[in-house]
Amino acid sequence: MTLREAAHRLVAGVPGRRLRPDGTAGTDHLDAAPIPAQRRESHRVAYPREAYVGRRGWPLVRCTSADLSGSGFSASVRDVALRTGEEVEVYLRMGNGIEIEAKAVVVRSIERGLCAFHFVDLDPSLRETLIHQVFAEDRKAITNTKATS
């Protein structure tokens, strides 16, 4: 029995399932185009901290960051509706005393206020500091995981 025959036999008993021409199993009603993977240029780490976001000329709104990378961060922004592509001003206070005040673009805006931001024209030395902070947080999380195992 060939691999293709085995795959056909495997999906044959499931209603609505069939083998696609490329050899993957699927359902008749879900044959939409595949969702592209989100490509990120920097490693990302969980980083819940106080942050502020606002449109240019408007007061900043307090929010909580969810994660951080060398190129941006995501945050729960509940008090203002932001649109993908919109340029905003952000302020993020890091745990080691470093404060980031920068322009950013909203790259994703999801239900319930979760937004992802990409820093615009960030100073290279500040970006390098961010990357060091991200990896330091990652090492801390790994150490904590090993300690509790």
What are 81-139's pLDDT values in tens digits? 888 999 999 999 887 788 899 999 999 888 778 899 999 999 999 889 888 888 888 88
Q: Can you identify the CATH homologous superfamily of domain 44-148? A: predicted glycosyltransferase like domains (2.40.10.220)
Tell me the Cα Rg of the chain. Answer: 22
Residues of the chain with CATH 2.40.10.220: 44-148
Place of tokens 């699927």: 26
Q: How many CB atoms lie within 10 A of CB 115?
A: 25
> What whole-number distance in Å separates Cα of residue 60 and Cα of residue 95?
20
Decide if 115 contacts 72 (C-beta within 8 A).
no
Q: Does the pLDDT of residue 78 top 80, yes or no?
A: yes
- pLDDT: is 13 or 145 the higher one? 145
What are 23-72's pLDDT values in tens digits? 555 544 444 444 444 555 567 888 888 899 998 888 889 999 989 988 99
Decide if 70 contacts 131 (C-beta within 8 A).
yes
